[in-house]
Structure formats: structure tokens, C-alpha cells
Amino acid sequence: MSVRTEDGSRKARVVVIATGGTIASSSEPGGPAVARRTAAQLLGSTGYGDVEVEGRDLFSLGSYLLGHHELRLIAEAVAAEIARDDVTGVVVTHGTDTMEETAFLLDLVHGGDKPVVLTGAQRAADQPDSDGPRNLREAVAVAASPDARGCGALISFAGRIFAARGTRKAHTVAAQPFRTLDGGPIGRVDATGVHITARPVRPAPLDPPGPRFDDTRVDVVTVHPGADAALARAAVRAGARAVVLAGTGVGNANHALLDWITEAVAEGTVVALSTRVAEGPVVPTYGNGGGVDLVRAGALSMGGLPVYQARLLLALLLSQGVSVTRQALAAHV
């Protein structure tokens, strides 16, 4: 049903899909915070200006509990809502721990122009200074904004708007936990409205995740002084189709991991090269077990994609039977 204002123009309608996180969390006296608030409770009764808002509960979990199955459920729920003619945009309330993965998945598969906006909170819903209500109000404004159309999936948090791709949680407790690698936020939202100042460049959408995504295993193995190939081998034994190496610096490892890459690639495992450094791309530079040797042995550089988004991209592609080659990754990294 379309909603019309007195002058006959159509009002924006935003669907808020609640999935849990700190924004939905509260504690029993002395106990730990647990996500239990519903979409209706998050939305409250304050109203969202000119925007009609509709709540939907998907589940209520800390985002540290999510698996590929739950990420797929979120992608399906978002797709169902944006397919509705009367819906202007969608907000997903979500824990911040893994928001970068869910936002990126939604961005990878989002083909239309309608804004999909994730938000959450850093202070629980029962804290007097909880940031949840403001973040939610702002996210609704972004999802309703014509300016945000065509930007894919976004994270709106503490007044800043981030493109999903390249954004990661960079602070555990700060009110603004997000940072985009190699670039800042693409806009801001404040009392004067929604201001998009840079438009993200996005590759063609991928097919949405199917049931096979749920158990497509891709592991991250971190390189550190003295690291050997034991964890990487264990990952493959446990069923990993790909291993993302979070290398040191610009993407380096050592001779033990170099030898393992040669073996693993020969046996059909995808080995991807990322970095454990918080910001900056992989730039193969060094020999003697460094990034140049790793790439020569068959590791695929994940460029400027943050390590956990790299993991997610590989899982999606492998779950769809895509042969993961340098060319297949070119549009994404």
C-alpha cells in the first residue's frame, strides 16, 4: 500500500530489519549484556519525521554469533523488502563486531538503487547514553534519502556514512568504531540532512548467496614471527576451500608458508594474500618468502580489500562454483 502525503506525493517508507547486536542489548543487574530487543522496541514511539517506518524481526543475536547461514538470511530478508514497490530503502540493525562482513555481502549482491543501510550501537540499549536511538534515526534518514540511491550498502554510524566496501571496525569501544581503508566516509548525516560527498564505484552485482554458502568454509591464517604452515594445513583438513593469509606488512610470509602455498595451490586450494596491517593494500614487493614469492607460488593478492571482506568474497564465489582466478577477482580487489 503506498502512503501519500496531503499534497498527494508519496511518502518515503523504510523497513527496519532487526538482527540483534548492542543496539538491542540490555543486561540483568550485574549480568552480561544480551541482545533481546525487538524492532518495535528499537523503533519506539517517537516517529521518524516524514518517513513511514516498519519494523521486522529476523533474529536477535550478538553479531559475534553469526554464521554464513544467518548472513544469507539477512541478504534474503533485505532482497524481499527492497523488491516491494512501496519501500524506499531498508535499514538493518546489527552488531558492530561483524557489520563489515554483512554490509559487504549485501553490497556485493545488491543490484538496484535503493539504499540498504546498516547501523548499530556501541553502548547498550539500557545505558543512559546509548547511541542506538540516534544511530537508528540517522540510518532511517539515509535509507529514505534520494541522495543515497545508487550507493549500494552503507554503514551509517555516529553521523558518518561509509560505503560497505573497504570499511572495517577499527576501534573496539569508541562511539565511532568504523573506518574506511584508503578513504574516509562518503558522507554525513546531521540535523541539516543527509549529505553524500563521494559516490562509491561498485562492480556489477553478484548472484545472491544460496544454501551452499552456509557451509562454504574459508579460513584466515595470520602470519607472525615464527609462524609455520600447521594452521593453514589444519584449515584445509577441516574443509577450507580457500585460506586467506593475513600477511605481515604489504603481504609477506616466510619459507614455511611459501612451501605450503605451492603444495596447496597444486591440490586445488585457493590461497589469497591479504595483510594483518589495519590500513593499506597488499603490494607484493619482497622476495625470500615475501609477497613477490607468494604470488609467484600461486597466492592471489586481495589488493585493498580488508581481510575479512576478502574472506567473505571468496566464500561467496566458491559457494557459487566460480573458479577463483586473478581475473575473477579483478573487479573486486
Ligand X SMILES: NC(=O)C[C@H](N)C(=O)O
Residue with the shortest CB distance to ligand X: 95
In DSSP notation, 228-262 reads -SHHHHHHHHTT-SEEEEEEBTTTB--HHHHHHHH
- By beta-carbon proximity to ligand X, the closer residue of 96 and 269 is 96
Any bridge partners for residue 147, and if so which? none
Phi then psi for 46, rounded to 5 degrees?
-80, -20
- By beta-carbon proximity to ligand X, the closer residue of 177 and 304 is 177
What whole-number distance in Å separates Cα of residue 217 and Cα of residue 215? 6
Residue 122 sits in the site that holds ligand X (CB under 6 A): yes
CA quadruple 76, 63, 201, 150: dihedral positive or negative?
positive
Closest contact distance (angstroms) between CB of 9 and ligand X is 36
Q: Which three cell numbers stand for residue 52?
A: 513511514
**Interface characters, 48-67, with ligand X (x: CB under 6 A):** --------------xxx---
Closest contact distance (angstroms) between CB of 209 and ligand X is 20
Q: How far is CA 263 from CA 40, 97, 256, 260, 301, in A?
A: 53, 34, 11, 5, 18
Active-site amino acid positions: 22, 96
Residue 120 sits in the site that holds ligand X (CB under 6 A): yes
| Residue for grid cell 562509491 | 200
- By beta-carbon proximity to ligand X, the closer residue of 121 and 148 is 121
Q: State which of positions 2-31 bind ligand X (CB under 6 A).
A: 21-22
Of 89, 95, 247, 306, which one interacts with ligand X (CB under 6 A)?
95
What whole-number distance in Å separates Cα of residue 331 and Cα of residue 73? 26
What whole-number distance in Å separates Cα of residue 306 and Cα of residue 98? 12
Closest contact distance (angstroms) between CB of 97 and ligand X is 3
Closest contact distance (angstroms) between CB of 232 and ligand X is 27
Of the candidates 304, 228, 293, 240, which has an alpha carbon nearest to the alpha carbon of residue 270? 240
Closest contact distance (angstroms) between CB of 7 and ligand X is 40
Residue 266 sits in the site that holds ligand X (CB under 6 A): no
- By beta-carbon proximity to ligand X, the closer residue of 95 and 306 is 95
Residue 132 sits in the site that holds ligand X (CB under 6 A): no
Residue 88 sits in the site that holds ligand X (CB under 6 A): no
- By beta-carbon proximity to ligand X, the closer residue of 173 and 238 is 173
Determine how β-strand 153-157 pairs with β-strand 160-163.
antiparallel
Binding residues for ligand X, per CB under 6 A? 21-22, 62-64, 95-97, 120, 122
